[in-house]
Structure formats: structure tokens, C-alpha cells
Amino acid sequence: MSVVPGIMVGMTQSTVDALHTLAREYLPQEIAERWIGLLRPGLRLEKAEGAGSAVGRLGGLPGLPEGEEWPVWEGHGPLAFVASLDCAALPSGALDIAMPTDGTLVFFYFDGQLDDGCAVVDPGEPDSWAGARVLYIPAGVPVAERTAPEDIQPYPEVPLTARVETTAPHLWHPVVYREFAPMPDDHPVWDEDFQEALGDHFGGTEHRIGGHAHPVQGEVETEVAHSALGNPPWNDPRIKEEALRWVLLAQFDSDNDADMMWGDCGALYWLIRPEDLAERRFDRAMFTWQCC
């Protein structure tokens, strides 16, 4: 494992071993090994404590190119700035998705400041999609800090550092069904003790880049797939297949330090198809959010 100040590059052996041990403790041997094969590397974003360790930040004011207008949801108003990430500083080489190796990603969301939460960004409502945006600013493009629009109160700025972690799929994710189908109701991966052990392992505030999303409710990939297909009946078999085509770009949890509360202790999620990520088509990323 190579180390850069403030960033652990390469998957830490302790993190890998913890999930391997957990699976082998609670699951039959053959099923445990197959479940371990579904684990994916992700980047966990945490509050940076030391100088020079930041790879991005929550809150504050964004740096935007001169010709880039502050994102607005037409008919509702400007979005709030959530986070920015310096792609060159992220240990993206540890991931299994084609993250940019330079430039900046900037995330915005219509957070209800202007209407007391009346308008909701919903992946099932295409007219609301403009309420969440991710912008990619290529390296070398001059930017300047932009003042927030009137009536938008910026969130407190929190610098973020990154560490590589192993992530596990939600137990009802289509990738789990694909691996273990057919799955009766008493399948070992749905054992309550195994579920509780996973919940204890993935605790605390979870801001994440890549890897498997950590949903608050159900799998976010299915929500996005349902919307991408035009909201067919939920039993449409195409939904599970479409869900396998989406990967997590970023999730931002509720965070006390940044004074961010998404609903009732919820999280924001941006997902993207791998081919769009490789082509830097962040305008094709899709958004959803969940809360308790």
C-alpha cells in the first residue's frame, strides 16, 4: 500500500479482512466466498483534520468558470452548493470506475431553503431533475469563487479527506439476485444476524465516491433505473437489468459539521452509467435521495 499525506492509496488490509471475516462468520462457506466476490472499492470522504490533506469540501462557496451560471431549477429558484472534489487529489486509481484524474466535480441540490421544502427533487418526476446538478470543470479552466444567490445561505465549509474502503452491496441489490438466484425468503444473505453485523460495520456519517451505495431505504440503483425506463410498473423485469447499468458516482450524507440535514437523517446520491462516466457526460448523471 502506498501512502500520500492524508490519503490512503490501496485498499487497507484491515478493512478487507473485516468484511471477509464477517461473511465467513455468518454465511455458509460457498455463499460467503461468492458474496465476497461482490465487494467493491470505494472512497470514504471524512472531515480533514490536517493541513494539506483535503481532497475537496462540503459547503462554503463554489469556484465556477466565468461563463458558468449558478444552477437554477426553473420556476423554483437557485440550487444550494453541496460539495466540490479535486479529482487530481482523489486516489481514484484504487476504484473500479473511470473517475477523472484531474479537474473538479461540483455538486448542487435544491434543498428547500427557498420554499420550506415544498418542492421535492424526485427521480420519478422528470420535471424535477433540474433540482440536482453535478458539474465537471476540466483542469486548466480558470475559476473564481462565486457569491451565493440572494436567499441562499451557504453551508459551513468542511474540508474533506479520502480513504479507500471496501464496500458491500445492499442485500436486495440486483447484483445479489444475479449472483444467488433463485433466492428463497430464508436465503442466508438475508439472515437477520448477518444484516445486523453489516449495519454495525458501516456506521457513522458516510460520504462516498464510487463503490456500492449505502442506501437509507432501498437500493438507489433500482430507483434510478425505474426512472430511466420512464417509470414502468415496479414488477417490470427490465428494472433489475437496468439497475445493473448504473454505478454510484457520489453520496453525501447528513452531516452535523456542515449543518446538512437531508430530510430525516437522509443522504443524497448521484449515479451514472460507466460509459457516460468514461466520456465525462456528467449531464447524464441521475440523482435520488432517501431519508429515514
Q: Profile the chain (292 residues) by mean pLDDT over runs of 10 residues.
A: 34 64 95 96 92 89 95 97 97 95 98 91 95 97 96 96 94 94 92 92 88 93 96 95 97 97 94 97 97 87
What pLDDT does residue 5 have? 30
Maximum Cα–Cα distance for the chain, whole Å?
59
Cβ neighbours for 173, distance < 8 A, ≥ 6 positions apart = 212, 219, 221, 222, 243
What pLDDT does residue 7 have? 35
What pLDDT does residue 16 have? 59
The strand pair at 267-272 and 286-290 is best described as antiparallel
**Over the stretch 228-241, which tens digit does the pLDDT of each residue have?**
999 999 999 999 99
For the chain, give the DSSP string. Answer: -EEETTEEES--HHHHHHHHHHHHHHS-HHHHHHHHTT-EEEEEEEE--STT--SEEESS--EEETTPPPPEETTTEEPEEEEEEETTTS-GGGSSS---SSSEEEEEE--STTTTT-S---TT-GGGGGGEEEEEE-TT--EEE-PPPTT--PPPPEEEEEEEEEE---TTSHHHHHHH-S--TT-GGG-HHHHHHHHHHS-S--EEESS----SSS-HHHHHHHHHTTS--TT-THHHHHHTT-EEEEEEE-BTTTTB--TTT-EEEEEE-HHHHHTT-GGG-EEEEE--
What pLDDT does residue 262 have? 95
- What's the distance, Cα to Cα, between the start and end of the chain in Å? 37
**Over the stretch 50-72, which tens digit does the pLDDT of each residue have?**
766 899 999 999 999 999 999 99
Cβ neighbours for 82, distance < 8 A, ≥ 6 positions apart = 58, 59, 107, 108, 109, 111, 155, 252, 260, 268
At 135, the amino acid letter reads L
Quick check: 163 and 46 in contact, CB under 8 A?
Answer: yes
- Between CA 194 and CA 69 the distance in angstroms is 48
What pLDDT does residue 49 have? 85
For 180-213, give the DSSP string. Answer: H-S--TT-GGG-HHHHHHHHHHS-S--EEESS--
The strand pair at 2-4 and 158-167 is best described as unpaired
- Between CA 101 and CA 93 the distance in angstroms is 8
What pLDDT does residue 6 have? 33
What pLDDT does residue 4 have? 32
What pLDDT does residue 117 have? 87
- Between CA 188 and CA 30 the distance in angstroms is 11
Show the cell assigned to 137.
470543470
